[in-house]
Chains A and B, each alone.
Chain A
Amino acid sequence: MTLWLMAGLLFTPLAWAVLTLLTDFRWGRWVTSFGILVQVLVSLGLWLTIARDGGFYYGLGGWDAPLGIELRVDGLAVTFVLLTAVVASACGWHAGVYIDPDKAWHRYFWPLFWFLWSGLNAVWLGGDLFNLYVGLELISLSAVGLVALGGKAAALRASLRYLLAALLGSLAYLLGVALLYGQFGSLSIAGVATLLADNPAPAGSGLALALMVTGLSLKTALFPLHQWLPPAHGIAKSPVSALLSALVVKASFYIAARLWLEFGATIGSFAAAQLVGLLGSAAVVWGSWLAFRQQQLKQVVAYSSVAQIGYLFLLFPLTYSVSEAVSLQAQQGITLQVISHGLAKAAMFLAAGNLILSVGSGRIEALAGVSRFLPFSLFSFGLAGVSLMSLPPTGGFTAKWLLLQASLGSGQWWWVAVLLAGGLLSAAYVFRIYRASFLERPETDRFYHPPRSLEVIPLILALLSLGLGLASEQVLSVMALPFEEAGAP
């Protein structure tokens, strides 16, 4: 059964990418909805299997590491697989209604969408350093293709900038992989971690880790390497922006986090951990401030991503040379932050897309009076905002609460200030949008009414991010499940 689920999980997105390549946009929509159904069922099935039996290694092609490639199927990985299934199906559903089917080049949306999904799954499950690189390439190239799809010069400029940043990040990561392979002769993360635990770390492995983390931070848009993100996320179509902010940037962060948790304790250093944490904090403050200053609705949401990504990098200082319990708390907090930001930001971008569709302009001032016409979308935007502000009972609140405890527990009280300031600043930029939408102006009484399904989707995502705080116990329990080191069953 597990073997079938794994094959389905790996096969479906790739197969649907090829199938939708052969159809036009309208047919692609039907084919995709069937694929989404299969993929959601398979993801859910795998999650339930792992929750019941625990995790395992899955050797592809029947070869085990280090000769072959092994996938690490554990609680954290399947949780993210499930998150991807939820967010991607919402975005796919939204895109099917939102995107104009009559433009010939929009048919390429579906294959790129499916390739992106398969790349994300490859990264969540990857247990091999080079395979993770391939997964990253799959994600970056399809994301760049989606941003550029049918765009004018500005969209091409943004996507080219994105492509160059992503390639530079990938190359830095690959350089680090090459160095580690030279030192250990193995590409398996688990294999290298075992070797590191038993022997003294070879000279230069610190450099390898630094290169990999730097490259991945560039791809995650950590301050001050974030400049490529707002133009790309702002100019893409709303369902694409939602995918990029909710999932794509998390993939590179996920790899950085996995590397840090496996290798950081032996080849990391206190100064490096603090530096990464400091950059994350700067991202929280500077990103929120820039979000507050933007004139375009989607730019506000994009800069808010820069800020929210900053929190994730607090993982580095909060897990380096601290007690087991504090480290676990930090990991749980960051996991919840990834999930709640993923749901909330997808909801926010989709709602923003509806608002823009309704008023016919991307400027914030143009939103005046929209509260009477599109209360649902505005409500979803606000609910997602509540999660970003981390008010109870949202997932954002539980995440920050765990991080707060981890900071105090490890004696690194200075991160507490960042957590509190970030919440206040995000309140400022969310309320600014609300203020604009409640203003009344005489000339604005003609609004386009988007189909009801476009309004329902962000609402569902926003409610999920709200409910995450209440279900966090169940979500986090899967992460602590037993893991068979012995290999695939």
Chain B
Amino acid sequence: MMAGWVRTLITTLLCLTLSGALAASIWAIAGNPTPVDLPRLLSENMDRSGVAHPVTAVLLNFRSYDTLLEIGVLVIAGIAGISMAKTASLEDPELRTSDTLLYALQRWFVPLMLVLAGYLLWAGAERPGGAFQAGAVVAATGVLMRLGGIPMDFLRPGLLLRLGLGLGFSVFLVVAVASAIGGEAFLAYPPGLTKALIVVIESVLTLSIAMVLLALFVSAPVNDAEDPEEGGPA
């Protein structure tokens, strides 16, 4: 009883100290200009980036290596998720609703959400938006359809699902290595093709990001069949 109280007190004190130190250092940062002016450097190079929005330019051109690896992280999350899925859960009728209101709403929402996703993807070129946002909206559409009981066979852990997971990443990777084969650095876009390539990459990424998120939602239940464990209690 006493120990729990002391522990809470210590935790609170630690949290307060850390927050205080963080606040102080953020206060100090806010008052001083940084020695390297990255935003200015960015705006100077914008015309060479192929897109008009700085965030998209950073994500898909200047720091595209980060984005490539981040997509890899998403694919890993998808793989880890579906490796634990059991196929039966996809067919489980208890996981579906038969709500007529939801059916009715779906007819309106699904096309609307897909159009919105398409807009978000396209808007990424000159204002906030892009593959991640569009992918999230497509995934949400999929979640809605699944809750409504639409089967969506491609989500069964088969070749189609795995193709979908890997598609966006593969296209990005092929573009990355194509320039390296052409004698440029890894991930450098050939001049003139920058805009077209970015649009292609963003579109397939939207699809794959949506697949990953949807696969994670669908494959949530844990599998029943197991391996014997090596190190655990017998």
Contact = CB atoms under 8 A, between A and B. Distances in A.
A154 B231 CA distance: 10
In this complex, which of A62, A115, A183, A199 has the most chain B Cβ atoms within 10 angstroms of its Cβ? A62
In this complex, which of B75, B223, B232 has the most chain A Cβ atoms within 10 angstroms of its Cβ? B232
B66 A131 contact: yes
A14 B75 CA distance: 11
Contact of A100 (B32, B42, B62, B227): B227
A108 interface: yes
A144 B186 CA distance: 29
Contacts of B79: 21, 108, 111-112, 145
A155 B84 CA distance: 12
A135 interface: yes
Interface string A302-340: 100000000000000000000000000000000000000
Interface stretch (A65-73, A262-270, A405-413): A65-73
B83 A61 contact: no
B185 A151 contact: no
B35 interface: yes
Contact of B22 (A10, A151, A207): A207
A156 B189 CA distance: 42
A151 B227 contact: yes
A284 to B, nearest CB: 22
The interface residues of chain A, by DSSP majority, are classed as helix
Contacts of B227: 100, 103, 150-152, 237
A302 B80 CA distance: 23
A186 B38 contact: yes
A203 interface: yes
Interface residues of A, number: 84
In this complex, which of B68, B80, B169 has the most chain A Cβ atoms within 10 angstroms of its Cβ? B80
B41 A66 contact: yes
A138 B69 contact: yes
A83 interface: no
B181 interface: yes
Interface string B182-224: 0111111100000000000000000000000000000000110
B72 A118 contact: yes
A144 B38 CA distance: 35
Interface in A163-188: 175, 179, 182-186
Contact of A68 (B62, B80, B180, B225): B62
The interface residues of chain B, by DSSP majority, are classed as helix
A234 B32 CA distance: 49
Given A18-B170, A59-B185, A199-B35, A204 B180 contact: no
Contacts of B45: 67
A182 B186 contact: no
Interface string B59-93: 00111111011101101110110111000000000
Contacts of B82: 108
Contact of B83 (A14, A108, A122, A302): A108
A457 interface: no
Contact of A298 (B26, B64, B159, B230): B230
B181 to A, nearest CB: 7
Interface stretch (A355-363, A420-428, A437-445, A478-486): A355-363
B35 A61 contact: no
B44 to A, nearest CB: 9
B33 to A, nearest CB: 8
A3 interface: yes
In this complex, which of A142, A148, A195, A237 has the most chain B Cβ atoms within 10 angstroms of its Cβ? A142
A411 B104 CA distance: 78
Given A21-B166, A185-B35, A362 B226 contact: no
A204 B27 CA distance: 10
A290 interface: no
In this complex, which of B24, B36, B173, B187 has the most chain A Cβ atoms within 10 angstroms of its Cβ? B36
Given A134-B73, A152-B229, A203-B25, A61 B162 contact: no
Contact of B38 (A22, A131, A185, A238): A185
Nearest to B87: A104
B232 A155 contact: yes
Given A7-B181, A195-B36, A61 B230 contact: no
A375 interface: no
Contact of B176 (A11, A59, A207, A488): A11
A60 B83 contact: no
B233 A154 contact: yes
11 contacts: A61-B189, A67-B38, A130-B63, A137-B69, A138-B69, A138-B76, A142-B76, A151-B229, A156-B222, A207-B22, A299-B231
Given A108-B82, A185-B37, 5 more contacts: A14-B173, A59-B185, A108-B83, A142-B80, A356-B230
Interface of B: 21-22, 24-26, 28-29, 32, 34-38, 41-42, 45, 61-66, 68-70, 72-73, 75-77, 79-80, 82-84, 159, 162-163, 165-166, 169-170, 173, 176-177, 180-181, 183-189, 222-223, 225-227, 229-234
